[in-house]
């Protein structure tokens, strides 16, 4: 007997495959959705100057050896230093994820010793970090071409900043052009009695001046405003958001909870002083 193949049988088989694949795809999608985190704890560490001379060690100055021990501690305890770009992507992209134990490493003020000591360690450990510079410091340093730089007191030059950003290990944050002073303004904060309009004009002008300097020197700026002395106000947040900043950093201490579809403003940071071992410092702030 000759058995004839029928089209309905072919259609049934094809339909069955389609149903099976659809079910599998739905299962995988649901499984992936369960794996996606919608919030993550983020410690942020704030470093400043790094020097060899022990007589200067203190609240804002540590040794290169101490920094290396900190990095070793983070590596041994499974922490992954992330970039600001990764944080922005995480909060804005539904499928974007961060490492299991993320941490943000920051350096304030733009000291030349960050280039001498921190930059090589970032490359050695393959860590990412944010260095927030003060524009007028780097402008003056870069203009003094005939003066040899000192790891004790010099600031970064444009070519050093550019080299670090091009490496992929360093992002550059905005620490004001010339508002890093303990004046009546308290950094970039509004002054008592100053109108909002006058303040917004002065603050925006300062920001734009550093932005233009970075553009002129072919340096990419990460959309981060690091408040000098951690001093901020409602008016300052309005200005930086209007100018396109996605992140702002304070000096208040605490671990941040980063959530999907949320902002990255007024992030808290832990200052890293000299005098505590890496284990003591990190355990004290809950980084274990």
Contacts by residues 211-218 (CB-CB < 8 Å, ≥ 24 positions apart): 211/174, 213/135, 213/138, 213/139, 213/177, 214/172, 217/142, 217/158, 217/161, 217/162, 218/162
CB 141 within 8 A of CB 53: no
The predicted model gives 68-93 an average pLDDT of 98
**Tokens 């794996």 label which residue?**
35
In the prediction, which pLDDT does 173 show?
98
Tell me, yes or no, whether 155 and 213 share the same domain. yes
Tell me, yes or no, whether 105 and 220 share the same domain. yes
Tell me, yes or no, whether 14 and 149 share the same domain. no
Q: What is the pLDDT of residues 18-39, one digit of tens each?
A: 443 444 344 334 434 445 778 9
Q: What is the pLDDT of residues 110-129, one digit of tens each?
A: 999 999 999 999 999 999 99
Q: What is the CATH number of the domain that holds 175?
A: 3.20.20.370
Q: Using pLDDT thresholds of 50, 70 and 90, give the confidence band for residue 145.
A: confident
Any bridge partners for residue 130, and if so which?
Answer: 106, 171
Residue 1's domain spans which residues? 1-35
Tell me, yes or no, whether 173 and 153 share the same domain. yes
**Tokens 């350096």 label which residue?**
107
Q: Please count the residues of the chain.
A: 288
Tell me, yes or no, whether 22 and 104 share the same domain. no
Tell me, yes or no, whether 169 and 276 share the same domain. yes
Tell me, yes or no, whether 214 and 262 share the same domain. yes
Q: What is the pLDDT of residues 225-274, one digit of tens each?
A: 999 999 999 999 999 999 999 999 999 999 999 999 899 999 999 999 99
Tell me, yes or no, whether 44 and 126 share the same domain. yes
Q: How many domains does the chain have?
A: 2
């Amino acid at each position: 007997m000759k058995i004839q193949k029928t089209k309905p049988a072919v259609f049934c088989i094809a339909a069955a495959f389609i149903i099976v694949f659809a079910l599998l795809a739905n299962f995988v999608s649901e499984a992936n959705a369960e794996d996606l985190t919608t919030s993550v704890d983020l410690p942020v560490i704030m470093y400043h100057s790094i020097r060899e001379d022990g007589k200067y060690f203190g609240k804002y100055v540590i040794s290169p050896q101490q920094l290396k021990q900190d990095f070793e501690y983070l590596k041994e305890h499974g922490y992954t230093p992330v970039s600001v770009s990764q944080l922005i992507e995480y909060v804005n992209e539904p499928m974007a994820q961060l490492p299991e134990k993320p941490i943000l490493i920051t350096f304030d003020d733009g000291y030349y010793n960050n280039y001498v000591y921190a930059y090589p360690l970032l490359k050695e450990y393959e860590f990412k970090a944010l260095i927030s510079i003060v524009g007028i410091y780097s402008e003056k340093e870069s203009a003094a071409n005939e003066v040899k730089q000192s790891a004790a007191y010099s600031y970064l030059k444009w070519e050093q900043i550019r080299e670090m950003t091009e490496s992929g290990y360093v992002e550059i944050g905005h620490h004001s052009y010339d508002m890093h002073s303990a004046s009546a303004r308290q950094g970039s904060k509004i002054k008592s009695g100053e109108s909002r309009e006058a303040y917004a004009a002065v603050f925006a002008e300062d920001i734009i001046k550093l932005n233009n300097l970075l553009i002129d020197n072919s340096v990419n700026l990460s959309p981060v405003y690091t408040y000098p002395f951690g001093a901020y106000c409602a008016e300052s947040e309005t200005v930086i958001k209007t100018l396109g900043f996605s992140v702002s950093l304070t000096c208040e201490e605490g671990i941040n909870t980063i959530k999907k579809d949320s902002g990255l403003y007024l992030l808290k940071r832990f200052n890293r002083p000299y005098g505590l071992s890496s284990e003591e410092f990190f355990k004290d702030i809950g980084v274990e």
